[in-house]
Amino acid sequence: MTESSVHPALWPAPYATGAVEATVTVPGSKSVTNRALVLAALAAEPGWLRRPLRSRDTLLMAAALRALGVGIEETVSSSSAAAPGAELSEGGEAWRVIPSGLHGPATVDVGNAGTVMRFLPPVAALADGPIRFDGDPRSYERPLNGVIDALRVLGARIDDDGRGSLPMTVHGGGALDGGTVEIDASSSSQFVSALLLSAPRFNQGVEVRHTGRTLPSMPHIRMTVDMLRAVGAQVDEPETGGEPNVWRVSPSAVLGRDLTIEPDLSNAQPFLAAALVTGGRVVIPDWPERTTQPGDALREIFTEMGGSCELTDAGLVFTGAGRIHGIDVDLGEVGELTPGIAAVAALADSPSTLRGVAHLRLHETDRLAALTKEINELGGDVTETEDGLHIRPRRLHGGVFHTYDDHRMATAGTVIGLAVEGVQIENVATTGKTLPDFPQMWAEMLGV
Ligand SMILES: O=C(O)C1=C[C@@H](OP(=O)(O)O)[C@@H](O)[C@H](O)C1
Ligand SMILES: C=C(OP(=O)(O)O)C(=O)O
């Protein structure tokens, strides 16, 4: 839990005076946008991303690819284009990605984006020249050894500080051999995704063998595999008959695609939670019928906690009954949902046990410690377990909810603030990592 060095203003989380009734259009998925940017940059032809997420994490990814020579242009409407190389804005409709020879020297700012710090080093290894990676102080603490060690085995030259973390320089050689590599991805599924995403461009493709005991966030690996197949890559993997814990990507050209990005279902979570907490009804338009996003699991999890939902032509209609039940659930596959589930669980009528998420200690902050401390400081009763949280609901009171530069801590505290008067969110602007308009969207949902 590294506290922000500055102490930005406190934001009073709105208290709900009645049942929320709203339709909330949620911007594009971070995970899909950043994969699509990487694949489009590696393609043999230009491609389009429509309705991309524009947030800190995705703008950092776009800026990094531009620094490596990739063209990313914005269209403001179907007929007009912003000047090539112009700043990417919050308002445009689509990004056109024009691949070119990747090259250094360049510097990549990863911020605190796991997708940028892990997905881009393999891309840098394919570039010609030195690429320096740096980021927020927290990025130095997040695990990267799985990517660094694997890239060295696959033929890359990397200078780091010997700790297997940022900052570091990848000395791109213009191509990478590729081949077989063993990694322990128990601390982050993004190690596997990172190696697979660039692998069609490795001379021999890749065979990734995961040797660790556990592997979190499987839906995100599925997302990687599906998106690779959609750009023409051949992938063998455990879920379609391959060996367990082994993924193979053959060398091939990457096709340029025209892709419309799905709404970010994990960012739909606080809005669905608002319906659950207030006994209201929230509609999320464009909820996909079929998706690899982990946020889709909210339909089941929030139903078990007392809501009900229906997928209609208008989108996902989620209704709360005004009572929240505790839950005993393994969140290993959907770890990024944990802060939002913990917030709702703290308001439930029975205890909850959240399991399978030890790796959250290495996310934007130590999420298990941060949730325990912040909910308990509002009068709650949360204890950390080896791999999760026990949450015994108590009557909560107002106070400052610290967010530790973690967007999901900020949205979790805001959900508690709906039911508890006087909750103040420290640095709500940290939601800009994946959802820059969160405070306005929240106010609009509540009609305040
Ligand atoms: O590949 C991705 O887009 C992600 C994978 C997951 O990471 P971990 O496996 O490190 O938890 C998830 O928590 C993160 O928000 C996004
Ligand atoms: C863990 C998360 O992000 P990152 O992509 O930085 O790992 C998250 O968004 O919850």
Is the pLDDT at 117 greater than 70? The verdict is yes
Please state the residue numbers annotated as binding site for phosphoenolpyruvate: 30, 114, 142, 190, 367, 408, 433
pLDDT of residue 3: 46
Pick the CATH number of 30-260 from 3.20.20.80, 3.65.10.10, 3.30.428.10, 3.40.1010.10: 3.65.10.10
Q: Is 239 an active-site residue?
A: no
**Residue 317, Cβ neighbours under 10 Å: how many?**
17
Q: Has residue 90 got a pLDDT over 60? A: no
Give the pLDDT mean for 262-282. 98
Given this model, what pLDDT does residue 56 score?
97
CA angle 102, 107, 108 (to 5 degrees): 85
Banded model confidence at residue 77, pLDDT cuts 50, 70, 90: low
Question: Measured from the CB, is residue 114 less than 6 Å from ligand 1?
Answer: yes
Question: What mean pLDDT is predicted for residues 262-276?
Answer: 98
Instruction: Tell me the average pLDDT across 400-429.
Output: 98
- 331, with CB counted inside 10 A (0-12, 13-18, 19+), is buried
Supply angle C-alpha 146, 224, 106, rounded to 5.
60
Per-residue pLDDT at 4:
45
Token pair 């290495």 in the structure block, residue = 362
ipTM topping 0.90: yes
Give CATH superfamily name and number for 10-27+263-446.
Enolpyruvate transferase domain (3.65.10.10)
Mutate to test the pocket of ligand 2, among 189, 336, 403 (most ligand atoms within 8 A of CB): 336
Q: Which atom of ligand 2 is nearest to the CA of 433?
A: 9
- The Cβ of residue 153 has, within 10 Å, a number of other Cβ atoms equal to 14
33 lines ligand 1 (CB under 6 A): no
Confidence (pLDDT) at 322? 86
What's the pLDDT tens digit per position in 372-392? 999 999 999 999 999 999 999
pTM value is: 0.96
**Residue 29 Cβ contacting ligand 1 at under 6 Å:** no
Ligand 2 atom 8 nearest Cα: 336
Give the confidence band of 365 by pLDDT, cuts at 50, 70, 90: very high
* 113 CA from centroid of ligand 2 (Å): 6
Domain boundaries, the chain: 10-27+263-446, 30-260
Q: Let me know if the fold of 10-27+263-446 is the same as that of 30-260.
A: yes
112 Cβ closer than 6 Å to some ligand 1 atom: no
User: In sequence order, which ranges of 70-135 are alpha helices (DSSP H)?
Assistant: 114-126
Whether pLDDT at 5 is above 50:
no
Mutate to test the pocket of ligand 2, among 142, 334, 364 (most ligand atoms within 8 A of CB): 364
Closest-CA residue, ligand 1 atom 6, reads: 217
- Specify whether the CB–CB gap between 316 and 302 falls below 8 A: no
3-class secondary structure, 370: helix
Indicate the DSSP class of residue 53.
Answer: -
Q: Bridge partners of 309?
A: 318
Asked if residue 78 has pLDDT above 80, the reply is no
Q: Which entry of 73, 74, 336, 364 is annotated as an active-site residue?
A: 336
